[in-house]
Amino acid sequence: MALKALSLIYVMSASAFCVAIAMNSSQPWARTFQTAAKVAVPEIRSAALSAGRKFRVAAAVVNREAVVPAWAWMLEKNRELLARVNAPKPEIARAVPKKTTPLAVAKAPAPRAVAPKTLPALRGTIAPSLPDMQLADQEAELPLAPAPDANPPSPGELSRVLQHMKVSLTKELYENFELFLYVSKADHGPWAQRMYVFQKRSSGDLAMLYSFPVSTGAEIPKLGPSGTMQNTNTPPGYYQLDPDRMYRRYHSQEWDQPMPYAMFFSWEHDGLQTGLAIHAATGTDIGDLGKRASAGCVRLDPRNAQLLFQLIKKSYKGLAPRFAYDNRTATMANDGLLMHDKAGNLQYAEGYKVLVLIENNGGDNIVAALF
């Protein structure tokens, strides 16, 4: 590289030297004007002499103002380049690793995987942000009993919910899912603010496993930590659980609140994955179970949330049918419609064979109000 630069400077120097010679008024082609002036007729002689004088003046100005400074600059750059080329190269010191004595090292904590960045929430639904860190599933999965229920539903109401769940399922939904979570987001009625967990037995019948008090969305604007008013709706419909977003430990950045045992819904709306989830309530929110209070998610007692989380992770993973998808609106169906190929066959994906049904139905009217 240095030799190329040196060659370029020398070429430029030679070019400038040639220009300087050409501009010198003593060159033969400059004297031609004088000769032509002597032999020409008087009219031409006068013009030739005038042109010769003007050319010599111009040549002198160019030589003084351009050629000489340029020549001096090139000589200076030649000296600087030669100095850099001839300068001794510094030696590169190589660090020699020190020998270390083996020491007893404490056992490192479990590795943490970085979770994906937050995606915008569904309009009108306040969804928690995605987790900062995801812990590996290393906690002991001990058998759990449900948390004490101060106001359990009567056997007659449980029977009514079971019958309603059966008539709410299409043949395809009934045959392709194994665990069904029915959530009433109503603010009043015998079924209101409860989750009913149904298991499909080997005989094909549905059996009630659990009935948990919950808190769904407050359904009114709330002031968020950012200082802006946010909607707190829980949209009704049929949902699946997202196998890639099941977290024992989770913290909502949007609401700055912990969300233990978070199980997010796999529901895309307007091209965005929403942040609706089932998770444990914490702190004073536990006391709000049984009434509308959340930012849009379905909250459970921590013990019930852990029980449900462990049950689903352990027993219900497998191929599950995919919900239909509208490419025009980039929205996944939440009305129970499943995806089929051109031949009419159901399309499946790895996930959980768990179906969540959310309705605004408190049990006062057997016909669910899906709005």
Run means of pLDDT, 10 residues per run, the chain, 371 residues = 52 53 48 50 55 60 62 66 58 46 44 39 40 45 83 95 96 97 97 98 94 97 87 96 96 91 94 92 97 97 98 97 94 96 96 98 68 43
| Claim to verify: residue 265 and residue 331 sit in the same structural domain | yes
| Claim to verify: residue 72 and residue 128 sit in the same structural domain | no
| Claim to verify: residue 169 and residue 129 sit in the same structural domain | yes
Q: Provide CB contacts within 8 A for 208, sequence distance 6+.
A: 158, 161, 162, 196, 197, 198
> According to the model, what pLDDT value does residue 72 have?
65
Q: Is 263 helix (H, G, I), strand (E, B) or coil?
A: strand
Task: Answer whether residue 99 is part of any domain.
Answer: no
Instruction: Compute the distance between CA of residue 154 and CA of residue 131 in angstroms, rounded to an integer.
Output: 38
Out of 84, 103, 130, a domain closes at: 84
Task: Answer whether residue 90 is part of any domain.
Answer: no
| Claim to verify: residue 56 and residue 121 sit in the same structural domain | no
Query: Mind listing the pLDDT tens digit for each residue in 169-181?
Result: 999 999 999 999 9
Task: Answer whether residue 240 is part of any domain.
Answer: yes
Which residue, 85, 94, 212, is CA-closest to 147?
Answer: 212
Which residue, 329, 132, 130, 128, is CA-closest to 230?
Answer: 128
| Claim to verify: residue 24 and residue 130 sit in the same structural domain | no
> According to the model, what pLDDT value does residue 144 have?
81
> According to the model, what pLDDT value does residue 242 have?
97
| Claim to verify: residue 232 and residue 337 sit in the same structural domain | yes
Burial class (CB in 10 A: 0-12, 13-18, 19+), 100: exposed
pTM: 0.63
Out of 34, 67, 84, a domain closes at: 84
331: CATH = 2.40.440.10
| Claim to verify: residue 261 and residue 322 sit in the same structural domain | yes
> According to the model, what pLDDT value does residue 15 have?
58
Instruction: Compute the distance between CA of residue 100 and CA of residue 90 in angstroms, rounded to an integer.
Output: 30
> According to the model, what pLDDT value does residue 104 have?
42
| Claim to verify: residue 143 and residue 24 sit in the same structural domain | no
Instruction: Compute the distance between CA of residue 163 and CA of residue 183 in angstroms, rounded to an integer.
Output: 14
Out of 84, 105, 135, a domain closes at: 84
| Claim to verify: residue 79 and residue 196 sit in the same structural domain | no
Task: Answer whether residue 183 is part of any domain.
Answer: yes
Residue 340, φ and ψ in degrees, nearest 5: -125, 155
Per the rule left: phi > 0, alpha: psi between -120 and 50, beta: everything else, 204 is left
Task: Answer whether residue 343 is part of any domain.
Answer: yes
| Claim to verify: residue 124 and residue 193 sit in the same structural domain | yes
Number of domains in the chain: 2
Task: Answer whether residue 55 is part of any domain.
Answer: yes
| Tokens linked to 95 | 């660090």
Task: Answer whether residue 203 is part of any domain.
Answer: yes
What residues make up the domain containing 31?
Answer: 2-84
> According to the model, what pLDDT value does residue 57 have?
55
| Claim to verify: residue 67 and residue 206 sit in the same structural domain | no
Task: Answer whether residue 186 is part of any domain.
Answer: yes
| Claim to verify: residue 141 and residue 287 sit in the same structural domain | yes
Q: Is 13 helix (H, G, I), strand (E, B) or coil?
A: helix
